[in-house]
Amino acid sequence: MAQHPTGHSHDAHGDSHESHGSLKSYVIGFVLSLVLTIIPLVAVLNDIVEGTAARVVLLVTAVLQFVVQLFFFMHLREEKKPRWNLMALILGLVIVLTIVIGSIWIMTYNAVA
Amino acid sequence: MDKIKDFASDFFVTGDPLIYGADVAIVLVTVAIVAVLTYFKKWGWLWREWLTTVDHKKIGIMYILAALLMLFRGGVDALLMRTQLIMPNMDFLKPEHYNEIFTTHGVIMILFMAMPLMFGLFNIAVPLQIGARDVAFPVLNSLSFWLFFMGAMLFNLSFVIGGSPNGGWLAYPPLTEKMFSPGVGQDFYIWGIQISGIGSLMTGINFIVTILKMRAPGMTLMKMPMFTWSVLASSLTIILAFPILTVTLALLFIDRFLGAHFFTLDGGGNPMMYINLIWMWGHPEVYIVILPAFGIFSEVVATFSKKKLFGYTSMVFALMSISVVSFFTWAHHFFTMGSGANVNAFFAISTMIIAIPTGVKVFNWILTMYKGKISFKTPMLWTMGFIPCFVVGGMTGVLLSVAPADFQFHNSYFLIAHFHQVLIGGVAFGYFAGLYYWWPKMFGFSLNEKLGKWAFWLWNIGFYVCFMPQYVLGLMGMTRRYSTYGWDTGWFGLNLVSTIGAFLMGAGFLFQVWQILHSIKFMEKDTTGDPWDGRTLEWSIPSPAPMYNFATDPQVREVDDWWEEKQRLASGGAPRPKPALEPIHMPKNSGMPFIKATFWFIAGFGFVFDWMWMAIPGLIGVAACMLAHSFNYDTDYYIPVDEIERTEAAARRGV
Amino acid sequence: MANQGNHAVAGAHGHDHGHGGHHDLEALRQMGFWLFLITDCILFGTLFATYIVLHNNTAGGPTASELFEMPGVIAETFILLTSSFTSGLAVLCMNRGSRKGLIGWLIVTAILGASFIGLEVSEFIKMVDEGAKISTSAFLSGFFTLVGTHGLHVSVGLCWMVALMIQLGKRGITSVTKRKVNVISLYWHFLDVVWIFVFTIVYMMGVM
């Protein structure tokens, strides 16, 4: 952990919140998001993929789009160390997945019609 | 006229002498408070010094006062229940009344006693331990308190207005759906908890940012005091768990209010989903309250053994791993629901795994005491009382985690005894230790040790007398929430013993009240700022701490920096040069939190009674407060150097 | 760990630093907001879990594939995605110091957000008219609550954005308003991300 013994060096103070995004990164992000929205629309609504394969396509494109937005819109990559925001996000996502998958698993045998 | 009469007999709870007594008491106390404040012209003082304060130390004191009040109410509930169960076929409480009392006892003890007592100690100790001048978001901190307070008041109001909730502390549907609980008690439950829950969530965020970002120069994470670590672990668990509670209660409310079918028996609803969701919050919740207690014990055991805490690093890993693993054990609360063998096996094993880091901690505390110079002051007594109690409570927990065996123990008094043993023996003993430990820092005087020892022994002995018989009762087949039992059950003797134990704990509480009053009267002033010969930064400043806490930034070099500094000075080291004073930047007081929380109260009350004419203006008020706060840019000021000098000189004169 | 200094109002180091003193206070607030977003993630996660568990329980009422009309939903999706992009452009203008551009792009974002809400409300009204109400079945309870909570978030964001535009008009781009713009654009991106999953899990998986 980089420690600033005096603790008062001003340059150390978090400009972590400055958004460093450029027009280019926003445009790339936007285009990628559009593509990742159109792919599942075309593939699933036209029945190019079906059943489990369709679900996989849907979820993969959704997750990819999430990642795109994190990187190109929310500038998660530019966070300074220590990366508290990233750590908090990962932990939060682990819990979200636990809630969703755990509920599905536990409720499998408890379903009501 | 008849309409008004009908309304009044529905609106006010009637028909029970206990309640009329409470009505009279509430009116008298309110009149007395108003009269005293008016007579002594203290309204302005109350508003300026307390209602609008953003000082973490004062907010901490308010939390603790409110929590002790709630401890009294929850405790009276417990004694009423134990009186009802003292012998078979008792007619002291009617079954409906008994249902209400076990519900309010549970809710109040966990959510309106343990939580605020914990937040009070967070507020008192954390900024001082890390050498900060306040928490990261002081106004938000005040808002958290007032939301808790208004939520608690809303919940408690159900005792005299509308009727108490009676569906158990976690309000399982379908019993708590409109069809089976048409009264307003359940809505009081939902809104009381919801409003205070928002406050808890924000406290979690506040303390994470405070701890990660506002530590004194030189205090790396691995040089933080252990209590601060435990607060970080607990706050992390809060922000990950409380949103689940918010959603779960909101869904139950939508069921009741809009006729939705999340947890109903008809329309495709599934009550078991509620049980699944509520325990996803409920299990982490018990770790939320126990982790800070672990932190307190770590501070106390090191201070009163005059030794460094044994196994600092392993303690940190134990705390953090418990906070994360606690999210993977929730289904052990409903092994009998029938989720299949795989689910039960997984959650049984994850539950057993939690025992490992907990065991690590127990060994660390014991090894800290080993060869230490132990002084048996009250905080240390509570710590030493805690260790055996928590070990037994923890091990009965491991017994319960064995899924097939749990089919026998489930919801029996064995379970009741288990969780009271970890919650009283762990959480309550821990917070008492913390309260005694930091009391001089909070108020500038110490508590009487002799009365404190009486209180400790009454609590400690009373605990075992009360709950050990309950393990046996559970194995004999006594199920929780029975309002009465017959002579043929053979449960009389043990229940009698248990009730005697409960009253011993009640006597312990009275001794604590006496102890506080006695100590206020005979005021043993703490003039040193360091009455226990402490180890961490909070003991390096006067008691009570000046409003800005630290006149200059403390520089931290190692774990237990204050202790090491004292050792260095004692062995002839030169004192560190004092940096020059600078004006201190402080947040201004704000009336917004109190007003906004009041609007929440109004909205909540409106929703409870389906009075939209009241709920909607309440919500508009909340939104208006948010906007007003957003447009307010005049939020801080500076304390000039000469005022700091005067304050410091006055504090040193006391020394 | 860069220590942020030891101050009640974190980061203010005394008079001489003047405005810069607010700098890391704003960083703290931004971190606090990020943590709030994490809690919001969990809130939505819980709603998703409930929806997924209950989505087959239609209790004789309409099913997802009978009910959802994709053209409207697809329009909502592209509108919200575009507004996420324009809120980013607002931040870019702010970093360049252009108040006009900043407020302009915020207005565009707000208009897109409002049309998203308009579409969603008309979709809901139509469903209720067809007899698909929140009280019809567990599936619809879950649907209205999940999608409605997202819509509520967007609406709150809209009010907030208007309040912020007024503040920007009055005070210009300062460290405080800058943080507020950064925070609201983060919030807006977050709502877009949540919508992606609503779109995928509720609508696309509902009609396929």
- Give CA angle at A22 (A16, A28), nearest 5°: 120
Which CB contacts under 8 angstroms, 24+ apart, belong to C203-206? C203/C64, C203/C68, C203/C70, C203/C73, C204/A40, C204/A41, C204/A44, C204/A58, C205/A55, C205/A58, C206/C55, C206/C64, C206/C65, C206/C67, C206/C68
Contact C178, C167 (CB under 8 A): no
The structure tokens listed for B21 are 């007594």
Sequence-separated (6 or more) residues with CB below 8 Å from residue B265 = B174, B177, B179, B271
Sequence-separated (6 or more) residues with CB below 8 Å from residue A67 = none
Which of B221, B280, B339 shows the shortest C-beta gap to A109? B339
**Rounded Cα distance, B585 and B548, in Å:** 9
**Cis ω before B544 (30° cut-off from 0):** yes
In the numeric block, the tokens 């929850």 are attached to: B74
Could you give phi then psi for residue B185, rounded to 5 degrees?
-55, -45
Whether the per-residue pLDDT at A10 is higher than 60: the answer is: no
Which of A6, A84, A98 shows the shortest C-beta gap to B217? A6
β-partners of residue B12 are B161
For residue B648, what pLDDT is reported? Answer: 86
Q: What single-letter amino acid sits at C149?
A: T
Which of C41, C70, C200 shows the shortest C-beta gap to A62? C200
Contact A110/B337, CB-based, under 8 Å?
Answer: yes
Which of C13, C17, C200 shows the shortest C-beta gap to A58? C200
Contact A91/B217, CB-based, under 8 Å?
Answer: no
Q: Which residues of A touch B (CB under 8 A)?
A: 1, 3-8, 84, 91-92, 95, 98-99, 102-103, 105-113
Average pLDDT of chain A is 81
What residues does each domain of chain C span?
36-207
Contact A10/C20, CB-based, under 8 Å?
Answer: yes
Chain B residues within an 8 Å CB radius of A3: 218, 220
β-partners of residue B650 are none
B583 shares contact with chain C (CB less than 8 Å)? yes
Chain A residues within an 8 Å CB radius of B337: 110
Contact C141/B244, CB-based, under 8 Å?
Answer: no
Chain C residues within an 8 Å CB radius of A44: 204, 208
Coil/strand/helix, residue B638: strand
User: Which parts of B402-448 fold into alpha helices (H)?
Assistant: 403-409, 413-422, 429-443
SS (H, E, C) B81-107: HHHHCCCCCCCCCCHHHHHHHHHHHHH
For residue C8, what pLDDT is reported? Answer: 45
In this structure, chain C runs to a length of 208
Please give, rounded to a whole number of angstroms, the shortest distance from the CA of B600 to a CA of chain C.
17
Beta strands B584-587 and B636-639 are antiparallel
Chain C residues within an 8 Å CB radius of A54: 208
**Rounded Cα distance, B338 and B328, in Å:** 18
Coil/strand/helix, residue B639: strand
B131 shares contact with chain C (CB less than 8 Å)? yes
Chain B residues within an 8 Å CB radius of C49: 277
C12 shares contact with chain A (CB less than 8 Å)? no
Which of B218, B244, B270 shows the shortest C-beta gap to A99? B244
**Rounded Cα distance, A36 and C110, in Å:** 24
**Rounded Cα distance, C178 and B561, in Å:** 38
- CATH T-level topology, domain B42-573+591-653: Cytochrome C Oxidase; Chain A (1.20.210)
Burial string for B356-372 (b: 16+ CB within 10 Å, else e) reads ebbebbbebbebbbeeb
Which of A6, A105, A110 shows the shortest C-beta gap to B338? A110
Measure CA B582 to chain center. 37
**Rounded Cα distance, B142 and B55, in Å:** 8
* Burial (0-12, 13-18, 19+ Cβ within 10 Å), B220: middle
Chain B residues within an 8 Å CB radius of C4: 213-214
* Burial (0-12, 13-18, 19+ Cβ within 10 Å), B591: middle
Sequence-separated (6 or more) residues with CB below 8 Å from residue B466 = B82, B420, B498, B499, B500, B501, B502, B504, B505
Q: Which residue of C has its CA nearest to B54?
A: C8
Contact B117, B148 (CB under 8 A): no
Query: In terms of pLDDT, which residue wins out, A15 or B288?
Result: B288
| Cβ-based neighbour number of residue C145 at 10 Å | 21
For residue C1, what pLDDT is reported? Answer: 34
If pLDDT is split at 50, 70 and 90, which confidence band does A113 have?
low
Please give, rounded to a whole number of angstroms, the shortest distance from the CA of B565 to a CA of chain A.
17
Q: What single-letter amino acid sits at C20?
A: G
Please give, rounded to a whole number of angstroms, the shortest distance from the CA of A3 to a CA of chain C.
6
Chain C residues within an 8 Å CB radius of A4: 2-3
Which CB contacts under 8 angstroms, 24+ apart, belong to B78-81? B78/B105, B78/B502, B79/B502, B79/B503, B79/B506, B81/B105
Please give, rounded to a whole number of angstroms, the shortest distance from the CA of A6 to a CA of chain B.
6
Q: What single-letter amino acid sits at B139?
A: V
Please give, rounded to a whole number of angstroms, the shortest distance from the CA of C93 to a CA of chain A.
10
SS (H, E, C) C111-178: HHHHHHHHHHHHHHHHHHHCCCCCCCCHHHHHHHHHHHHHHHHHHHHHHHHHHHHHHHHHHCCCHHHH
C95 shares contact with chain B (CB less than 8 Å)? no
Contact C165, C103 (CB under 8 A): yes
| Cβ-based neighbour number of residue C137 at 10 Å | 27
Coil/strand/helix, residue B374: coil
Contact C23, C6 (CB under 8 A): no
Contact C54/B213, CB-based, under 8 Å?
Answer: no
For residue B157, what pLDDT is reported? Answer: 92
Contact A3/B270, CB-based, under 8 Å?
Answer: no
Q: Which residue of C has its CA nearest to A28?
A: C85
Which of A8, A23, A34 shows the shortest C-beta gap to C81? A34
Contact C199, C91 (CB under 8 A): no
Helices B312-325 and B341-369: angle between axes, nearest 10 degrees: 160
Contact A112/B270, CB-based, under 8 Å?
Answer: yes
Contact B584, B596 (CB under 8 A): no
* Burial (0-12, 13-18, 19+ Cβ within 10 Å), C60: exposed
**Rounded Cα distance, B184 and B257, in Å:** 11
Q: Which residue of B has its CA nearest to A90?
A: B240
Contact C14/B585, CB-based, under 8 Å?
Answer: yes
- Give CA angle at B447 (B442, B448), nearest 5°: 175
CATH of domain C36-207: 1.20.120.80
Sequence-separated (6 or more) residues with CB below 8 Å from residue B547 = B55, B57, B586, B647
Could you give phi then psi for residue B34, rounded to 5 degrees?
-60, -45
Interface test with B, best of A83, A98, A106, A109 (most B CBs within 10 A): A106
Quick one: CA torsion of A49, A53, A55, A60, rounded to 10 degrees?
A: -100
Which of B624, B559, B617 is closest to B225 using CA atoms? B559
Contact B554/C6, CB-based, under 8 Å?
Answer: yes
Q: Which residue of A has its CA nearest to B265?
A: A112
* B:C CB pairs within 8 Å: 174
Low-confidence ranges of chain B (pLDDT < 70): 653-655
Sign of the Cα torsion B330, B336, B337, B338 reads positive
Whether the per-residue pLDDT at A18 is higher than 60: the answer is: no
Residue range B346-361, pLDDT digits in tens: 999 999 999 999 999 9
Neighbours of A, requiring at least 3 CB pairs below 8 Å, are B, C
What residues does each domain of chain B span?
1-41, 42-573+591-653
Which of A7, A26, A96 shows the shortest C-beta gap to C5? A7
Cα–Cα distances (Å) from A86 to A70, A74, A77, B470, in that order, read 10, 11, 9, 47
C16 shares contact with chain B (CB less than 8 Å)? no
Which of B133, B137, B273 shows the shortest C-beta gap to C50? B273
If pLDDT is split at 50, 70 and 90, which confidence band does A48 have?
confident
Contact B303, B533 (CB under 8 A): yes
Interface test with B, best of C1, C4, C7, C153 (most B CBs within 10 A): C7
Chain C residues within an 8 Å CB radius of A61: 200
**Rounded Cα distance, B134 and B629, in Å:** 20
Mean pLDDT per 10-residue segment, chain C (208 residues):
40 35 74 96 97 93 91 95 95 92 96 97 95 94 97 96 94 92 95 96 91
Cα–Cα distances (Å) from B478 to B44, B463, B492, in that order, read 55, 19, 11
List, as ranges, residues 153-172 from C with C-beta within 8 Å of B: 159-160, 163-164, 166-167, 171
**Rounded Cα distance, A26 and C87, in Å:** 10
Q: How many CA atoms lie within 13 A of B538 on its CB side?
A: 30
Please give, rounded to a whole number of angstroms, the shortest distance from the CA of A100 to a CA of chain C.
5
Which of B222, B224, B235 is closest to B538 using CA atoms? B224
* A:B CB pairs within 8 Å: 63
Coil/strand/helix, residue B587: strand
Chain A residues within an 8 Å CB radius of B221: 1
Please give, rounded to a whole number of angstroms, the shortest distance from the CA of C55 to a CA of chain B.
9
β-partners of residue B479 are B412
Q: DSSP assignment, residue B444?
A: S
Sequence-separated (6 or more) residues with CB below 8 Å from residue B401 = B332, B348, B351, B352
Interface test with C, best of A6, A8, A16, A19 (most C CBs within 10 A): A19
